[in-house]
Structure 1
Amino acid sequence: MLTVEENGKQLILREISDQWGEDCHTFLSRPAMMHWAEQRFRKEDFTGNEDEYNAIMEAFRSV
């Protein structure tokens, strides 16, 4: 599960996993967050599931 919180100029993204616990990432801009998202959710990992990839990226863009 991912949550994004706006805190002034910062975007705080929390990645919560039952396997790994919670990872927290702080970004100073939306482009920085989008760069992280593109690296974390690589398009080639979603071969055959392009709709799911597009939905994930659209959710990041809407933040």
Structure 2
Amino acid sequence: MIKKHEIYKTDKWNMMTVEVQGRYIVLREISDQWGEETHTFMSRPAMMQWVNNRFNKESYKDNEEEYKNIIAAFKQV
């Protein structure tokens, strides 16, 4: 069974989804800048490490609420 989580979506070009496929976690990031990137993780801690690198708190210092929402959404996976 595949469980799909939508992390955020600003429009059809800027979104991120996470699918739990058995023991794998597949993260798809779609952006108008970079196209689609797919990352596969073997564990939640590995995914969270990537998340903390990708969404560093400094780059969200003007929008801390969005940062908290993104991190909270990942923790729900």
Normalising by the smaller structure, the TM-score range is over 0.9
**What SS class does the counterpart of residue 33 from structure 2 fall into?**
coil
1:21 has 2:38 as partner: no
Higher strand share: 2
Question: Runs (4+) of structure 1 moved beyond 2 Å?
Answer: none
Superposed, which structure 2 residues align to 1:1-63 within 5 Å? Answer: 1-63=15-77
Amino acid at match of 1:13: L
Count of matched residue positions in the alignment of Structure 1 and Structure 2: 63
TM-score normalised by the chain length of structure 2: 0.77
**What SS class does the counterpart of residue 26 from structure 2 fall into?**
strand
Share of identical aligned residues, percent?
59
TM-score normalised by the chain length of structure 1: 0.93
Higher helix share: 1
**What SS class does the counterpart of residue 73 from structure 2 fall into?**
helix
Cα distance, 1:19 vs. partner? 2.4
Q: Tell me, which stretches of 5 or more residues in structure 2 are unaligned?
A: 1-14
Distance 2:60 2:31 in 1: 20
User: What is the root-mean-square deviation of aligned Cα atoms in Å?
Assistant: 0.8
